[in-house]
Amino acid sequence: MSRPLVGIIGNSYLINDQYPAHAGGTMNSEAVAIVSECMPLLIPADPRLVSVAELLETCDGFLLTGGRPNVHPAEYGEAETEAHGAFDRCRDAITLPLVRACVERGQPFLGICRGFQEVNVALGGTLDPEIRDLPGRMNHRMPPDGTLEEKFALRHQVSLTEDGVFHRLFGAMRVMTNSLHGQGIRTPGARIVIEGRAPDGTAEAIFVRDAPGFSLSVQWHPEWDAANDPVSRPLFAAFGDAVRAWAQARRPMPMQKSA
């Protein structure tokens, strides 16, 4: 029996700083294939090449990956500044309507880092362009030096809502996560439920209230060592279960709700 198909949202990339390509981290594909037990398919996030309608019919679920470019602030009603960093308007044009369609249909998706922020913006939320500049906030960015193991090392705790979706999924009220992001949620979008926060209050784990299907997103990078990490593994396993349920019946598998 063929595996259900997970569309992995790719990022624009320059090979040798000059050859345009669509790229996706190997660890994303490994997490989907090995832990979620689904077929990974890299999606060129460009409306000139693919449409949201085609993606919804082709794929059973979606992994909204991290990426260096940020969601353009025009998508949440703000002017572009230097602090907002680089952008990928083609990805914005695919992922934001894709999130809204998946929420409506109950088609499963898992958001990671930029994907977490995309889910918030798609549902009407806003972002802070550089949270380390805010009073009382930590520096959540990737360490500039060191090996991949050091860059993706666990750096801070995330506190979860008691008896919430994430608490039940992880079996713990507090989990350790890595941290590789500059932006963060300023105001949550309509129906966005924040269930996990870093020690400085930064939102780290969300889902969409009353979404008929799997709609979890995290600000950290669970794709790193997903097969072995005690937090990453149940997250990707639950995502895989939801994708299989959709593939078998084209109907959502309801998430557990917060009390």
State whether the Cα torsion 238-128-93-221 is positive or negative: negative
Query: What pLDDT is stored for residue 256 in this prediction?
Result: 54
Least confident of 6-20, 26-40, 213-227: 6-20
Query: What pLDDT is stored for residue 226 in this prediction?
Result: 98
Q: What is the DSSP letter of 26?
A: H
In 3D space, the residue among 35, 74, 70 whose CA is nearest the CA of residue 243 turns out to be 35
Percent of the chain at pLDDT > 90 equals 79
Per-residue pLDDT of 112-128, as tens digits, reads 999 999 999 999 999 99
Asked whether the predicted pLDDT for residue 110 surpasses 50, the reply is yes
CATH architecture observed for domain 5-249: 3-Layer(aba) Sandwich (3.40)
Strand partners, 15: 19
Q: Which two tokens stand for residue 36?
A: 């979620």
Q: Which residue has the higher pLDDT, 250 or 213?
A: 213
Least confident of 86-90, 197-201, 211-215: 86-90
**CA pair distance 123, 207, nearest whole angstrom:** 11
Catalytic residues: 113, 221, 223
Question: What's the average model confidence in pLDDT over 29-41?
Answer: 98
Contacts of residue 45, Cβ cutoff 8 Å, sequence gap at least 6 = 9, 10, 11, 12, 22, 88, 90, 91, 94, 95
Is the CB of residue 239 less than 8 Å from the CB of residue 216? yes
Q: Does an H or E element contain 151, and which?
A: helix 148-151
* Beta carbons within 10 angstroms of residue 138's beta carbon: 16
Query: What pLDDT is stored for residue 115 in this prediction?
Result: 97
pTM of the model: 0.94
Query: What pLDDT is stored for residue 68 in this prediction?
Result: 84
Count Cβ atoms within 10 A of the Cβ of residue 82 and give its class: 0-12 exposed, 13-18 middle, 19 or more buried.
exposed
Query: What pLDDT is stored for residue 80 in this prediction?
Result: 84
Asked whether the predicted pLDDT for residue 253 surpasses 50, the reply is yes
Which pLDDT band, with edges at 50, 70 and 90, does 258 fall under?
very low
Query: What pLDDT is stored for residue 95 in this prediction?
Result: 98
Asked whether the predicted pLDDT for residue 257 surpasses 70, the reply is no
Contacts of residue 187, Cβ cutoff 8 Å, sequence gap at least 6 = 125, 126
